[in-house]
């Protein structure tokens, strides 16, 4: 008989092997493009596991705390982290967390509303990753954290911090495709910095969801046991993905991630529209 566990905060029964295996697969591929995997775990937890309360966002942040350090360490070991960019991402996304937390508990409380939000965000990222574009030559000559790029990158990180705080992904996961499609940077070069930004933001995000008061009757605290189980598989997948990334062509990574995000959009937006109409 397959061992199952009841997770009190999430309010669901889950076979113990499911969270680490799913997180390993997702994190292996997502870490190559600077995404922690939390972005894709939200649809899995909501649609497959039936975990739709606001605390799913906080649980995702716990996953980041456990899963990301191995990937960042591997990128750093290979000297493939732009630390100036990493700290800039963290400095921008951190202030937006409080606003994102408030939005999640007040405006994005209903499951179908939150799924619509997730779906539209997925569509934007998918289109930007899949749309053919020319990478500016400046991307290969200058650090992304240099000169006139500092303020625009910080402003983008601030806005993304709000979204990341509401969604439970930390913000750095969205920052990676933004750095690629808006600022013309090479995906191989920004993945490590984006993961570090996600990790730094997630530390604060977990504290916000855990300790700040939620509206009466709303459970916003993370399910630590479930988050740690996801994180254990994610840590292994992220380490292996970071080690493999340099051998995979940039366009292959972008197309793969864009296709997954497009599927997330299709499932969530169509489902949300159906729920709103009925």
Cα atoms found within 13 Å of the Cα of residue 109, Cβ hemisphere only: 11
- The whole-model pTM stands at 0.80
Query: Do 157 and 88 touch, CB atoms closer than 8 A?
Result: yes
DSSP 3-state of 35? coil
Cα atoms found within 13 Å of the Cα of residue 252, Cβ hemisphere only: 7
pLDDT 10s digits, 16-71: 999 999 999 988 988 887 777 787 788 889 889 999 888 888 899 899 999 999 88
DSSP assignment letter at 7: E
Percent of the chain with pLDDT over 90: 20
141, pLDDT greater than 60: no
Question: By CB neighbour count within 10 A (0-12 exposed, 13-18 middle, 19+ buried), where does 131 fall?
Answer: exposed
pLDDT 10s digits, 201-218: 888 889 988 998 888 888
Strand boundaries in the chain, DSSP class E: 4-7, 12-15
Mean pLDDT of 127-156: 63
Query: Do 176 and 165 touch, CB atoms closer than 8 A?
Result: no
93, pLDDT greater than 50: yes
pLDDT 10s digits, 98-123: 888 888 787 876 666 666 777 777 78
Q: Which residue has the tokens 């497959």?
A: 48
Query: Which ranges of 2-110 does DSSP label H, i.e. alpha helix?
Result: 18-30, 38-43, 55-77, 83-106
What is the chain's alpha carbon radius of gyration, rounded to the nearest angstrom? 18
Instruction: Give ∠ CA 65-36-268 in degrees, rounded to 5.
Output: 115
C-alpha to C-alpha distance for 33 and 190, rounded to whole angstroms: 8
């Amino acid at each position: 008989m397959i061992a199952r566990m009841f997770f009190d905060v999430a309010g669901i029964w889950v076979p113990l092997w499911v969270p680490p295996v799913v997180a390993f697969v997702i994190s292996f591929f997502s870490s190559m493009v600077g995404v922690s995997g939390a972005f894709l775990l939200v649809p899995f937890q909501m649609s497959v596991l039936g975990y739709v309360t606001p605390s799913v966002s906080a649980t995702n942040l716990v996953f980041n705390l456990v899963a990301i350090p191995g990937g960042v360490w591997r990128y750093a070991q290979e000297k493939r982290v732009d630390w100036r960019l990493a700290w800039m991402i963290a400095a921008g996304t951190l202030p937006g967390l409080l606003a994102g937390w408030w939005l999640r508990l007040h405006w994005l409380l209903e499951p179908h509303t939150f799924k619509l939000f997730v779906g539209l965000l997925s569509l934007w990222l998918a289109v930007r990753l899949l749309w053919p574009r020319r990478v500016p030559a400046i991307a290969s000559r200058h650090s992304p954290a240099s000169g006139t790029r500092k303020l625009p990158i910080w402003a983008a990180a601030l806005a993304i911090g709000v979204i990341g705080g509401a969604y439970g992904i930390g913000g750095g996961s969205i920052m990676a495709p933004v750095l690629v499609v808006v600022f013309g940077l090479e995906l191989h070069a920004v993945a490590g910095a984006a993961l570090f930004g996600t990790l730094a933001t997630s530390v604060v995000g977990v504290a916000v969801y855990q300790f700040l008061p939620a509206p009466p009757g709303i459970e916003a605290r993370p399910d630590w046991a479930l988050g740690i189980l996801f994180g254990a598989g994610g840590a292994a997948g992220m380490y292996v993905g970071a080690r493999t990334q340099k051998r995979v062509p940039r366009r292959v990574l972008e197309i793969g991630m864009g296709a997954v995000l497009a599927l997330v959009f299709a499932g969530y937006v169509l489902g949300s529209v159906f729920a709103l109409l009925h």
